[in-house]
Amino acid sequence: MTSFETILYERPAEHIARIVLNRPETFNAQDTRLLYELNDAFDIAAQDDQVKVIILAANGPHFSSGHDLREQDPYQNMADFRTVGTWCGFTCAGAEAQMAREKEIYLGFCERWRNIPKPTIAAVQGKVIAGGLMLIWPCDIIIASEDAQFRDPVVSFGIGGVEFFAHPWELGARKAKELLFTSDWLSAAEAKQLGMVNQIVPRERLEDAAIEMAGKIATKSLFALKLTKEAVNVAEDSQGRVQAMQTSFALHQLAHTHWLKLYGTLLDPTGFSPEIKKIIGAKLDEQ
């Protein structure tokens, strides 16, 4: 079994694997290592014929604060990992390095996780911000604690939403626009009403509720589960999801390049209120 620094890999019950984000001191901010370790753990569970269901959970008060913008030399760090896609140029000049890195570890990973041929359950507590949404949206089922809150504040700093642009499918077009335009929080109750969340449970019941749901699913044939997931995903993709995702990703890269040309930084620094600075935990004054 592979050893990890930033996550835990567990087998809490028969036919169930649980992957736990384990950077609570950063509210599970996602640096390059965490994302590659998470991808490796998903691969382990996906390739284990004894695992039928995969749970994604997180330690600490909050599920994830999103991308770790404090990471030093993120492009150079790519050399420390074996890439899973075919994009290259992570240290090239211009827009190439940024696009290559985000194509690999953001959009690329999310698509891989969405298409794992086994049911996946996200067990979510506390705050889920920006890149945190990109960990739960690829999952098939989302169980949230009563205190869970969701937010994509990326438009506030000049980018049209996170890289895995699933907002219209998760929320519907009008609510997606509201969430993006305002950067407001979405409560667990409203997320359930919109169909983004399957169940809401008390915080102390979250772990048990996820295992109970996984156990119910694990009584089914793994082959039947694989075929069913494939059928639902294809139905969604037939509505144009893949093409829309590629277009939104290209627009995301255009925004990065625009702000880089204007301010020498990938984001619009004029959009960072004290609240936004606190949310993302970035040392923006040093950029």
Domain residue limits, the chain? 7-282
pLDDT of 103 reads: 95
Q: Strand, helix or coil at 204?
A: helix
Residue 84 has pLDDT above 60, yes or no: yes
Residue 280 has pLDDT above 70, yes or no: no
pLDDT tens sequence across 162-216? 999 999 999 999 999 999 999 999 999 999 999 999 999 999 999 999 999 999 9
pLDDT of 279 reads: 53
Burial class (CB within 10 angstroms; exposed 0-12, middle 13-18, buried 19+) of 201: buried
Strand order in the sheet with 199-201: 7-13, 16-21, 53-58, 120-124, 141-145, 199-201
Query: 206-240 burial, b for 16+ CB within 10 Å, e for fewer?
Result: bbebbbebbbebbeeebeebeeebeeeeeeeeeee
pTM higher than 0.95, yes or no?
no
Distances in whole angstroms, Cα of residue 204 to Cα of each of 53, 116, 145, 189, 208: 22, 29, 8, 17, 8
The strand ranges marked E within the chain are: 7-13, 16-21, 53-58, 120-124, 127-129, 141-145, 149-151, 186-187, 199-201
CATH class given for the domain over 7-282: alpha beta
Spatial separation of the C-alpha atoms in residues 55 and 42, rounded to whole Å: 10
Residue 145 has pLDDT above 90, yes or no: yes
Strand partners, 19: 9, 56
pLDDT of 2 reads: 66
The answer to which of 51-60, 144-153, 186-195, 272-281 has the lowest mean pLDDT is 272-281
- Within a 13 Å sphere around the CA of 46, how many CA atoms are in the beta-carbon half? 14
Spatial separation of the C-alpha atoms in residues 127 and 133, rounded to whole Å: 10
DSSP for 182-196, please give it: H---EEHHHHHHHTS
Residue 1 has pLDDT above 70, yes or no: no
- Determine phi and psi for 151, rounding to 5 degrees: -160, 135
Spatial separation of the C-alpha atoms in residues 235 and 67, rounded to whole Å: 30
Burial class (CB within 10 angstroms; exposed 0-12, middle 13-18, buried 19+) of 275: exposed
Query: 52-87 burial, b for 16+ CB within 10 Å, e for fewer?
Result: bbbbbbbbbebbbbbbbbeeeebeebbeebebeeee
Going by pLDDT thresholds of 50, 70 and 90, the confidence category of residue 282 is very low
